[in-house]
Amino acid sequence: MLSVFDSGCSKGLRHFLYGATAETLEQLQARLLAKFPQARIVGSYAPPFRKLSTREETEIADRLNRSGADIIWVGLSSPKQELWMARMRDRLEASMLIGVGAAFDFHAGLKRQAPRIIQRSGFEWAFRLLCEPRRLWRRYALVVPTFISLTAFQRLGLRKFPIEDAVFGSSAPKAAAVKV
């Protein structure tokens, strides 16, 4: 996220922050602008912590499109953010939606991020589980074994997961939805 903000300054990229709470978004925006004064943050929105109505989704899509954002950063947690991006992709004009999960909390200075060596090892999930066991144990008890199993099935050729069909359906996408 920080690398994209950094390189986006010279390219004039417009960013929209979607997710978390209003307070988190305020702190995140302040810290990003302190670090990247030339960054163009064109808006932020903290959605309610419940399922959105069809009308609310339409209003949010209009708001995001009016902002002129090139990138919409989505910090809703998994799998909520991936489902939201898949549902909203065709209604949004931004060239990219990037799911960042807890990055909003990390970059706002609200949660401690794993040391770089743990991040690069692929075990940041274990660090987060140790930091927030009550909140994350159920998610990781399901997600980690499922991921390992599906990866093994794919590598053994027992199952294929065509990413384009899974994310975008059979038609070609106008832009990508990315999880970082």
For the chain, give the DSSP string.
-HHHHHHHHHHT-EEEEEES-HHHHHHHHHHHHHH-TT-EEEEEE---SSPPPHHHHHHHHHHHHHHT-SEEEEES-TTHHHHHHHHHGGG---SEEEE-TTHHHHHTTSSPPPPHHHHHHT-HHHHHHHHSHHHHHHHHHHHHHHHHHHHHHHHTTS----HHHHHH-SSPPSSEEEE-
> What integer is the mean pLDDT of 40-64?
96
Per-residue pLDDT at 55 exceeds 80 = yes
- Mean residue pLDDT across the chain: 88
- Domain ranges for the chain, please list them: 2-113+162-179
pLDDT digits (tens, 9 = 90+) for 109-125: 999 988 999 989 988 88
The topology under which CATH files domain 2-113+162-179 is: Rossmann fold (3.40.50)
pLDDT band at 179 (very low <50, low <70, confident <90, very high): very low
pLDDT at 165: 52
pLDDT at 43: 98
pLDDT digits (tens, 9 = 90+) for 122-160: 888 888 888 888 987 887 788 778 888 988 988 898 888
pLDDT band at 169 (very low <50, low <70, confident <90, very high): low
Per-residue pLDDT at 172 exceeds 50 = no
